[in-house]
Amino acid sequence: GAGVSQSPRYKVAKRGQDVALRCDPISGHVSLFWYQQALGQGPEFLTYFQNEAQLDKSGLPSDRFFAERPEGSVSTLKIQRTQQEDSAVYLCASSLGGPSEAFFGQGTRLTVV
């Protein structure tokens, strides 16, 4: 597609519920990143894929967070047993790979109530 697409744009989850956030990167982009952005803060790194391989997941805050990109294109970020502190905007970005420009989607705003 023309840009990075994320869905849903907004998600309200009850505490304890599982959620799945989807990212469609720019076609042909090898690298895919997930970031978490708290209100008033800069994006914080969660995880990075090169094609289908998850090369870095050092930013995932707990084992309740899981990301996959099984065919090297679409990616899903899953959060199990959501907690209030998980409320944030989750941003996905993609790039051609290496030290190249990363382009972001509009994000998914998750609110846990």
Partner 1 sequence: GQQLNQSPQSMFIQEGEDVSMNCTSSSIFNTWLWYKQDPGEGPVLLIALYKAGELTSNGRLTAQFGITRKDSFLNISASIPSDVGIYFCAGFPTTSGTYKYIFGTGTRLKVLA
Contacts (CB under 8 A) with partner 1, residues 61-90: none
Matching residue, tokens 């090169």: 50
**What HEC string does 42-99 produce?**
CCEEEEEEECCEEEECCCCCCCCEEEECCCCCCEEEEECCCCHHHCEEEEEEEECCCC
Q: Which residues pair with 103 in a beta bridge?
A: 94
4 lies in the site for partner 1, by CB under 8 A: yes
**Near partner 1 by CB under 8 A: residue from 45, 51, 72, 83:** 45
Which residue, 14 or 40, has its beta carbon nearer to partner 1?
Answer: 40
> Which residues fall within 8 angstroms of residue 1, CB to CB, at 6 or more apart?
24, 26, 27
Residue 31 C-beta: closest distance to partner 1, Å = 6
Cα(57)–Cα(112) distance, rounded to whole angstroms?
Answer: 23
**Near partner 1 by CB under 8 A: residue from 20, 62, 81, 97:** 97
Residue 66 C-beta: closest distance to partner 1, Å = 18
103 lies in the site for partner 1, by CB under 8 A: yes
- Tell me the per-residue interface mask from 25 to 44 with partner 1, x by CB under 8 A, - otherwise: ------x-x-x-----xxxx
